[in-house]
Amino acid sequence: MVQFEQSKALKRLPEQFFAGLVKKVERLKAQGHDIINLGQGNPDLPTPQHIVKMLQQTAENPKNHKYPPFRGRSELKQATADFYKREYDVELDPETEVAILFGAKTGLVEISQCLLNEGDTALLPDPGYPDYLSGTALANASIETMPLLEKNQFLPDYTIIPQKILKKAKLLFLNYPNNPTAATADKAFFDKTVDLAKRHNICVVHDFAYGAIGYDGTKPQSFLQSNGAKDIGVEMYTLSKTYNMAGWRTGMAVGNSSVIEAINLIQDHLYVSLFGAIQEAAVHALTADQEPVRQLVDTYESRRNAFVEKIRSIGWDIKAPKGTFFAWLPVPDGYTSEQFSDLLLEQAHVATAPGRGFGEHGEGYVRVGLLDSEKRLCEVGERIAQLPLFRKG
């Protein structure tokens, strides 16, 4: 059989760091071990039943058995605009400032191919979501990383970015509430971001995947709530986390009309939009009673509180996450993040994501997903307590 060589673009793609974690977990499962897997970001609760029922109904409609409009149904774009007005008091033109995505992941990869040429520079958070790197690699662009440090509340410090880098930069990726650090950003930070982007003509891409999940009575801030944000950037939203619709692959990009047009153009050549019934179900999700979303956030906050209390009780000094369904935990002295993650998996049968997989500045941490029952999350603490790692009090 002829072995055909992959393109240079594919060869530039970064290695999928977490594929190795999945293999380790599956190996131990095959040996019969009970693994509590907190290493991935896949919502564990089902899609609300009223959304599922809407899909069932609309899937039977013959109009949804045909190709939908290339750029998505106007009803879904209008529902997105209405959602942003209701939740964030942000005005959007549904036809020129909303693009329908096959999940936010798609948009986050596509945007580099839309706006970057070979040799252009993108600013990426470190640690950060690995697929930001995938898009820049496909575009054959250069990257400069912005360290997210605990001393700065895991926000990038724009004052340390050299002017020569800012002059070259074309894209700046942000993500708050943040994966993996679980940090949040306020309006003052986004105002600074808008000012920086305007001064240097940089397009801001805000990954708002966890926009619904904030704790302690604080609602996460949309980037577009800052004055002038639409002039210099877009926000990517997804139904995956807000409505437990991860497998439905439904998201949207909103904001700057020239960027939205570029995203629509590349998607004209890649897709014929989402299955119409899913678009109708997505409209229903965005416009129906939002009580299931409030209940979901309450569930995550209750899990967070139980987990943090249990982990602190065994002598592991951790900080409670402010948003997302993750916790970002410091690794004990003497271990790398991968060594510590392997130790927890092999000896406590608890899977976590080593921070190094999110970038150089993720070293020293592991990410835990609060994606199991409170009982199982507390069992994590009990299992780790059996290892000679921490001292109580």
Topology of the domain covering 49-287: Aspartate Aminotransferase; domain 2 (3.40.640)
Please tell me the predicted confidence (pLDDT) of residue 135. 95
Q: Is the Cα dihedral 80, 86, 89, 91 positive or negative?
A: positive
Greater pLDDT, 28 or 206: 206
3-state secondary structure of 178: coil
Name the band, by pLDDT with cuts 50, 70 and 90, for residue 388: confident
Express each pLDDT in 208-234 by its tens digit: 999 999 999 999 999 999 999 999 999
Angle at 344 between CA 322 and CA 378, to 5 degrees: 55
The length of the chain in residues reads: 393
| 94: preceding bond cis by omega (within 30 degrees) | no
Q: Please provide the average confidence, as pLDDT, over all residues in the chain.
A: 95
Residue closest to 381 by CA, chosen among 339, 327, 337, 324: 327
Local confidence band at 176 (pLDDT 50, 70, 90 cut-offs): very high
DSSP bridge pairs for 100: 252
Whole-number pLDDT of residue 15: 83
Question: Residues 39-92: pLDDT tens digits?
Answer: 988 899 999 999 999 999 999 999 999 999 999 999 999 999 999 999 999 999
**C-alpha–C-alpha distance, residues 280 and 50, integer Å:** 12
Report the percent of the chain where pLDDT is more than 90: 94
CATH 3.40.640.10 in the chain is located at: 49-287
Quote the tokens at residue 167: 């002059």
Give the CATH H-level superfamily of domain 9-47+291-385: Aspartate Aminotransferase, domain 1 (3.90.1150.10)
How much of the chain exceeds pLDDT 70, in percent?
99
CA pair distance 313, 241, nearest whole angstrom: 29
Residues 6 or more apart whose Cβ sits within 8 Å of residue 172? 122, 123, 193, 196, 197, 202, 203, 204, 205, 233
Q: How confident is the model at residue 18 (pLDDT cuts 50, 70, 90)?
A: confident
Task: Compute the distance between CA of residue 207 and CA of residue 223 in angstroms, rounded to an integer.
Answer: 9
H or E stretch covering 187: helix 187-200
Kindly state the average pLDDT of the residues 299-303: 98
The H-assigned helical ranges of 201-290 are 229-232, 239-242, 257-268, 276-287
Taking only the tens place, the pLDDT of each residue in 241-280 is 999 999 999 999 999 999 999 999 999 999 999 999 999 9
Q: In the prediction, which pLDDT does 393 show?
A: 56
pTM: 0.96
